[in-house]
Structure 1
Amino acid sequence: MAYQQQQHYQTQQPMPTMGMQVGGGNRNAAGKPLDSNGKREWSHGLCGCFEECGTCCYACWCPCIVHGKNKQRINHLAAKGSPDPDGGACCSGSCWGHCLLTSFLGAGWILQCINRGETRGRYGIEGGGCGDCCTSLCCHSCDLVQVSREIELEEKSFGQRY
Structure 2
Amino acid sequence: MSAPQLPTMGKWSTGICGCFEDCSNCWVTCVCPCLTFARNAEIVDEGRTTAYNAGRNYLALLTLVPVLGATLYGCTYRTKLRHRFELPEQPCVSCGDCFVHHLCCFCALCQEHRELKNRHMDPVGGWKKSYETIMSPNGAAPIPEPGMARK
TM class, shorter-length? 0.5 to 0.7
Structure with the greater relative contact order (CA < 8 A, sep ≥ 6): 1 or 2?
2
Structure number with greater Rg is: 1
Moved over 4 A (4+): none
Aligned to 1:146: 111
Task: Provide the TM-score with structure 1 as the length reference.
Answer: 0.62
Secondary structure at the residue paired with 2:87?
Answer: coil
Measured against aligned partners, the alpha-carbon deviations of 1:28-53 in whole angstroms (never above 9, x if no partner) come to 81236xxxxxxx33110000011111
- Does 1:131 find its partner at 2:91? no
Unaligned regions of 5+ residues in structure 2, if any? Answer: 122-132, 136-151
Match of 1:114 among 58, 66, 76: 76
Aligned to 2:143: none
Whichever residue aligns with residue 42 of structure 1, its letter is: W
Aligned to 1:72: 42
Aligned to 2:7: 30
User: Identity across aligned pairs (percent)?
Assistant: 27
Task: Provide the TM-score with structure 2 as the length reference.
Answer: 0.67
How far off is 1:154 after superposition?
A: 2.1
Aligned length: 116
Question: Which structure shows the bigger proportion of residues in helix conformation?
Answer: 2
User: For the aligned residues, what is the CA RMSD?
Assistant: 2.8
Aligned to 1:158: 134
Aligned to 1:96: 56
